[in-house]
Structure 1
Amino acid sequence: MTAPGCRIILWRHGQTSWNLERRFQGTTDIELTEAGAAQARRAARLLASLKPDAIIASDLKRAAATAAELAAVTGLDVTHDEGLRETYAGEWQGLTHEEIIDRFGEQYAAWKRGEPVRRGGGELETEVADRAAPIVLRHAEKLPENGTLVVASHGGTIRTTIGRLLGLESHHWESLGGLSNCCWSVLGRGARGWRLLEHNAGTLPEPVLGDDD
């Protein structure tokens, strides 16, 4: 059982050349651009001030390199796990947004409607959550009271993991907006389970002060 007051920071990797070209990366192992590495260094300085207790990351280069920047300023080790990789999307991988719509228009539309779709013959979003969410929870359970876990991963994997941890039905996961490069979302352990405290943040979270806290 995760200790009270714990936080999970789900951190998307920095910019890659395929991000700029709007190509679906999936499990293709693309490196950070120079700008992406700079994004990771900046974000790492901010996240380090939240005093994380542990860092886990996808083993793909773009996420691993992002996590390494936080490790460098905190002195923490990074635990890499292939279960935190981005969604495998088969024939979609390497295609631009426009090419996907042109070649797989009906499949794309069904996915956007929230239907269970194996994009390009790849994984279902629920299968991504099945592999990623338990890894995150397993590491969160090791945290001390009020501890913080940072998870360096990928946009699609982070969205499905958040949806699963919040107990949302899978067809609602798309309502969680995407993460910008090197931005993060924060989940906090509340009395009734996990709560979404911050989403697509790029600056330090502020405490919630008000009637809703």
Structure 2
Amino acid sequence: MKELQVKFVRHGQTFYNLMHKMQGWSDAPLTDRGIADLRKTAQGLKQIHFDAFYSSDLKRAMDTAEIIMQANTASDPDLQLQTDANFREVGFGIFEGIDDQIVGRKVGHPFGFDNFNDFIKQAGINQVRDATKIADSSGFAESSTDVYHRMAAGFQDLLEQNATGSTILVVTHGGFIRMLGEKYATKAQLAATNLPENGSVTTVLLTDQHVRVLDFARHNDQLDTDQAV
């Protein structure tokens, strides 16, 4: 049985995050705060030996990965960043770049909700993703099934491309990690957050038979207390 330990990092804060705009397949640069926070994440991960570095193919994730790689002192300095579109953020279609409160009201209203937070708490992230796809007139928004399909493809990429026992870093996105947690984390692990914070780290044991979340959305300030997790 092949087994990998994978650390999924949410990218740093971007201008869209700061302005509370929907940010899926669209992109925005990291803010100064985002870069500063990522340096904390990088410090917490710098002594971990990674056998490979991956990110989604969106620039905010690639820039985040580069900051972490530059700080790392335990891995082969010749390792190159690999990108995989399977790890990109959930696609929001026509709602990309729009204020998230406006989108929350439009998507949630038919179900009796006027914001994403209440909708997620009461109905779950999968129904919210499905409702967003229904409300999107462009046809580009992703349903929960769409996201889980490419998530599985991304996991398969990691298993095929890396040797058993490897430790892998993957920089991805908040919505992607939240859905990973919905499918594989325990209720206790999910209880602390609706959306993983920028720069947080989620550790997963990935095998060709199962996926197990070891640690969900650990804040970057906590990393140096237990670097082995």
TM interval, shorter chain, is 0.7 to 0.9
The answer to whether structure 1 residue 105 and structure 2 residue 124 are counterparts is no
- Aligned residue in 2 for 1:171: none
Given the superposition, is the C-alpha separation of residues 153 and 119 from structure 1 closer, same or farther in structure 2, using an over 3 Å criterion?
farther
The within-5 A match list for 1:91-102 is 91-102=94-105
- Aligned residue in 1 for 2:65: 67
**What CA deviation, in whole Å up to 9, does each residue of 1:70-110 have, x standing for no partner?**
22234231111222211111222112222123433325749
Query: Aligned AA for 2:143?
Result: L
The answer to whether structure 1 residue 198 and structure 2 residue 215 are counterparts is yes
Q: Is the 8 A contact 2:2 2:165 kept in 1?
A: no
1:46 and 1:105 mapped to 2: Cα distance?
38
Q: Is the 8 A contact 2:56 2:172 kept in 1?
A: yes
1:2 and 1:94 mapped to 2: Cα distance?
40
Aligned with 1:30 (options 28, 32, 36): 28
Alpha-carbon distance, 1:194 to partner:
2.7
Q: Is the 8 A contact 2:48 2:228 kept in 1?
A: no
2:81 and 2:40 mapped to 1: Cα distance?
18
Query: Aligned AA for 2:174?
Result: G
Query: Aligned AA for 2:203?
Result: V
Given the superposition, is the C-alpha separation of residues 26 and 162 from structure 1 closer, same or farther in structure 2, using an over 3 Å criterion?
same
Given the superposition, is the C-alpha separation of residues 120 and 55 from structure 1 closer, same or farther in structure 2, using an over 3 Å criterion?
farther
- Aligned residue in 1 for 2:93: 90
Count of paired positions? 200
Given the superposition, is the C-alpha separation of residues 195 and 132 from structure 1 closer, same or farther in structure 2, using an over 3 Å criterion?
closer
Q: Say which structure is richer in helix.
A: 2
1:104 is paired with a residue whose SS is: helix
The answer to whether structure 1 residue 135 and structure 2 residue 154 are counterparts is yes
- Aligned residue in 1 for 2:56: 58
Q: Is the 8 A contact 2:53 2:65 kept in 1?
A: yes
Normalising by the residue count of structure 1, what TM-score does the alignment of the two structures yield? 0.80
1:43 and 1:167 mapped to 2: Cα distance?
22
Alpha-carbon distance, 1:143 to partner:
3.6
Q: Is the 8 A contact 1:90 1:120 kept in 2?
A: no
2:24 and 2:110 mapped to 1: Cα distance?
16
Q: Is the 8 A contact 2:185 2:213 kept in 1?
A: no
Identity of aligned residues (%): 27
**Structure 1, gaps ≥5 residues long:** 169-173, 209-213
- Aligned residue in 2 for 1:180: 197
4+ aligned runs moved over 6 Å, structure 1: none
1:177 and 1:101 mapped to 2: Cα distance?
14
Q: Is the 8 A contact 1:89 1:120 kept in 2?
A: no
**What CA deviation, in whole Å up to 9, does each residue of 1:119-146 have, x standing for no partner?**
6421102211211332133214544443
Given the superposition, is the C-alpha separation of residues 40 and 136 from structure 1 closer, same or farther in structure 2, using an over 3 Å criterion?
farther
Given the superposition, is the C-alpha separation of residues 105 and 55 from structure 1 closer, same or farther in structure 2, using an over 3 Å criterion?
same
Query: Aligned AA for 1:20?
Result: L
Q: Is the 8 A contact 2:181 2:216 kept in 1?
A: no
